[in-house]
Structure 1
Amino acid sequence: MHDLDETDREILRLLLADARRPYSEIADAVGLSGPAVSERVSRLREAGVITRFTVNVDRSTFTDRVPLLVDVSVEPGHAVDVYAALRDADGIQHVYRSADARVVAHVSLPDANVESWLADALDTSVVDGYDVNILAESEWTNDLPETDLAVACAECGNTVTNEGTTAVLGGERYRFCCPTCEARFTERYEQFAGDANADVDA
C-alpha cells in the first residue's frame, strides 16, 4: 500500500465523523470521483487501517439510563478476560484495560446497580474491588493526529511503504516494511504457535 497522504487522512476524518457518509459526498469534499474514494477506502481496509464500520449509539441519551464510570481492580492474570467480558456487556459505551490489572468501563445502566451488572457480565471471583462514579458529562473523540499517518511494520515498527509486504497469520493481517521483517515475524509466529499446540497435545 502507498504511504498515507493528506487525501487519505481527510477521507478517514470524514468517515470518523460519519461512517455512513456516502462516497459521493466524500468525493466532493476531497476532489476525487466516487470510484476513486471507494478504491482508497478498499486499500485502507486491506492495510488494516480501517477494520470495520460501526454505529456509535450513545446509551446515556436514553432517559432511563445512568451514565457511570466503573474502575475495576482485577486479580493478576485475569485483566484480559475481564476486559473481553465487559467489552460485550450490556450498556457498555467504552472499556479500557491498563497495564496494572485494572479495567475501566464507561457504562450506562437503567438502575445504577453495578454489582448486579458485574455479576451478569463476568466471574466476579477475580475482581478485587471496584469504584463507581456517576458521569456528569462525557465526549468521545476519535480524531486523527496532525502528524503524518503511516502504517507501522509489525516486526520493527518502521514505516511501511510501497515496497512493504502483507501476511495473514492466524486470521489476522500483518504489514511489514520488507520481506526480511515478514520472514522474521512469520518464523517467530509459527514457532510460538507450534509451542502452544505442543502444550495442548501434552
Structure 2
Amino acid sequence: MKFHVLLLALSSPLHAAISFTLPGNSESAAWTGLNATNYTSASGYPSYPTATNPWPAAIDPDSGSTANGSFNKVSGGGYFASSSLYDAGTPGTFSISGTTSLNPETIIFQADLGSAFGSDPVLSFNGGAQSIAASHTGTSTGNFSGGFGGPPVPSTNYAWQWDLSSAPENISSYTIEWTTAPHGTIYQLDLAVADSFTQVVPEPAAPLLALLSFSLLSFKRRRESSNY
C-alpha cells in the first residue's frame, strides 16, 4: 500500500494529518473516534474527569491497514469526553504498540491535539527500552476546535518521523509512548510504517532558517553595495 501524502490536510481518513508519499511497502493506522460516544462508561472506559483507572482493553485503529496496532493508556489521567480524549488537568501517559513483518526503516506518528505535548513521543522496538527521539518533526493546522468558555481554538497536528534505516537489528515490533500536558486533548492519532526511509516530515525551523540566511545574505549584499 502506498501513501499519498503532501504537506496538506487529507479529507479522509487521515483528514487532520500531514500527507506524504513513501516508496516501497507501507502500513497505516488511524484512531479517529476518540470520544465518549464510541468509548462509553458502560464498556468500562472512563467518562469522568477524575478517572485514572486503566482501560478495559487497548483500542484498535478504526481505519488503515495495520490491524495489529493498539492504542492504550499506560498511567495517569485521560477520560473520553464528548469530542475528545481529555486528561482534565492530570497528565496521562499513552502508547501505541504494534507488530510488523516489514522490518521498517521509518515510522511516522501524528497526533491532532488541542494542546501542546507534555513530552515528545519516544520509540522503542523489539521489546527493548531504547526510548529513541524522532529524527524529524513538523506541525500543521488540525481539523478540530475547542475551548473553555472562550472562542473556539483550532487544534494542531503534530508529526514525528523516525529514521530506523541504521537500526542494529530487524524490527518486528515497536512501541511509541508519550505524556500529555495538563489539560491535554487528543482528537485523532495516525501511524505509518514503511520498509524504506525518505524524509517526509519537515523540521519546522527549516523554513525560518532559510529565510534568516536569505535575509542576512541580502543585508550583506546591500551593505557591500553601499560601500562602493
Bigger RCO (CA 8 Å, 6+ sep)? 2
Bigger CA radius of gyration: 1
Flag whether TM exceeds 0.5 (same fold). no
TM superposition score normalised by structure 1? 0.30
Whose helix fraction is larger, Structure 1's or Structure 2's? 1
